[in-house]
Structure 1
Amino acid sequence: MPANRFAAISSEPNILTDIYREEINLSVWQCTLSQALNSEVADLLNTASELQLSIALTPEQTIDELRGASALFADKPALSAHLAMLVDMFCTLFELKRAGLRLTLLNKAMCPKFHVDHIPCRLVSTLGGVASQWLPHDKVDRSKLGLGSKGKKDHESGIYSCGSDIQQLNTGDVALLKGSGWLGNEQGALVHRSPAPAAGETRLLLTLDFID
């Protein structure tokens, strides 16, 4: 078991650089979405039946690639600009030429059980709907991850002690989740899961990953 891991949370975007600190496994910029962006996201949630984009792109290409990938972006300038900004921040922070962007409309939990990602780091941001849940490092029984849960649901497996241990991101938050693929963080990866949206509710979820 590594020394404790902590979350770094701030309304300032430069908090994201804290992900490089050994003791940090979650870095969250509490980003307030503009009225224009919220309006475009609401329109997308209300009118699009499905959206499942998966694109490798450079920061300079983001807006053109989005418009090329889906006609939905023709009238979404605020959303396009926001995504381009996040791709630029992610690539700059990790010195990447490109990022792997996934933008998905979800009406069910994509990863409903608490788990860790076996990658170095992932950016996660819920732009509409209910946001991701996570467990503080000192509240997790890691022996109950994966097969250790013996097929039981999270509230039955003992992975956490009580419901108040579960923390939740806010819509608009830009979060960097450090995985087990980060050197020195093999036993300290952030434990997280997708929330189950309420009946009839949809989420718009963005993830950015390393691809080269």
Structure 2
Amino acid sequence: MLRDSIAPLTSPTGSIQTPTTQQTTVRLSASGDHPTVLTDIYKESVNIAIWKRELDADLQHLTNEFLANNPKFQKSVSVSPSDAFAALEYATDGLAPKALLQNIAELVDMFCCLFELDYAGLRLATLESAMCPRFHTDKVPCRLVTTYSGVATDWLEHDVVDRSKLGHGSNGLPDSESGLHQSETDIQRLTCGDVALLKGEKWIGNEGGGLVHRSPSVASGENRLLLTLDFG
């Protein structure tokens, strides 16, 4: 079980301490090919932890079939580790492959274990265009994202971002022209299958350090299957 690979270190909503002295914010990425890397999200200096996961070929094939047959599928449900599979099977009208539902249920179990949650807010959606095309941060403690098919999430390292250019600070200019970042080579992209924890602005002590990210551009005629998990 994936649950055996990770365990909570401390609560992100109450036990992580806000620094008592004003210091320059340093935020880094952590990545690895084992799920234990996700526990690095508890490190104050880390605002994205990436489990570089390769999806099984059979799972990819079944997922792509589901995506082709359900190009407009979108569901948001609250799930617990004990009922995630059944809730997803009901939400997908029994049409989604069981291998996909089991894989998602294991991530729900891992996510809830890591953050000591009874429930997680789950969103599973097929997307044919960028859902959030501008770079932004999330006003949440932490969000899990993974792409089961298609292109995955774009993100920026903390030290290449001019945060004054986020949102209205862009003065209506595209991110590529506003000065938010200096070069297209600054843009990082997750790989399909990767499981990433994105630390948000509401993680205690992470104000001004939430991961800057966006939905990727999707080519005409293509789509992607995205899963997100949030604190329930």
After TM superposition, the score normalised by the length of structure 1 is 0.96
Q: 1:75 to 1:190 in 2, by over 3 A?
A: closer
For the 8 Å contact 1:58–1:99, the answer to whether it is kept is: yes
Partner SS, residue 63 of structure 1: helix
Deviation of residue 81 (structure 1)? 0.7
**Whose helix proportion is higher, 1 or 2?**
1
Task: Pick which of 28-37 and 1-10 moved more.
Answer: 1-10
The one-letter code of the counterpart of 2:46 is: I
Unaligned runs of 5+ in 1: none
In the alignment, which of 197, 215, 228 is matched to residue 194 of structure 1?
215
- Give secondary structure in 2 for the equivalent of 1:134: strand
2:135 maps to 1:111: no
Task: Assess, with a 3 A threshold, how the Cα gap between structure 1 residues 63 and 158 changes in structure 2: closer, same or farther.
Answer: same
- Asked if the contact 1:2–1:188 (Cα under 8 Å) also holds between the matched residues in 2, the reply is no
Deviations 1:122-175 (A, max 9, x none): 000011000000000110000000110111111111100001000000000000
Q: Match for residue 61 of structure 2?
A: 39
Give me the TM-score of the superposition, normalised by structure 2: 0.88
CA distances 1:50-98 after superposition (whole Å, capped 9, x unpaired): 1111000101111111111122x44511101100000000000000000
Counterpart-to-counterpart distance in 2, 1:128 and 1:43: 10
Give 3-state SS (helix, strand or coil) of 1:31's partner. Answer: coil
Q: Unpaired runs of 5+ in structure 2?
A: 1-22
Deviations 1:20-52 (A, max 9, x none): 000000000011111221011110122113111
Which of the residues 87, 109, 112 maps onto 1:65?
Answer: 87
After the TM superposition, which parts of structure 1 deviate over 6 Å for at least 4 consecutive aligned residues?
none
Task: Read off the aligned partner of 1:11 and give its amino acid letter.
Answer: D
Corresponding position: 1:80 with 2:101: yes
What is the deviation of 1:194?
0.3
Q: Tell me, yes or no, if the aligned pair for 2:150 and 2:222 is still in contact at 8 Å.
A: yes
Q: How is 1:81-100 mapped onto 2 (pairs within 5 angstroms)?
A: 81-100=102-121
- Name the aligned partner's letter for residue 183 of structure 2: C
RMSD of aligned alpha carbons: 1.1
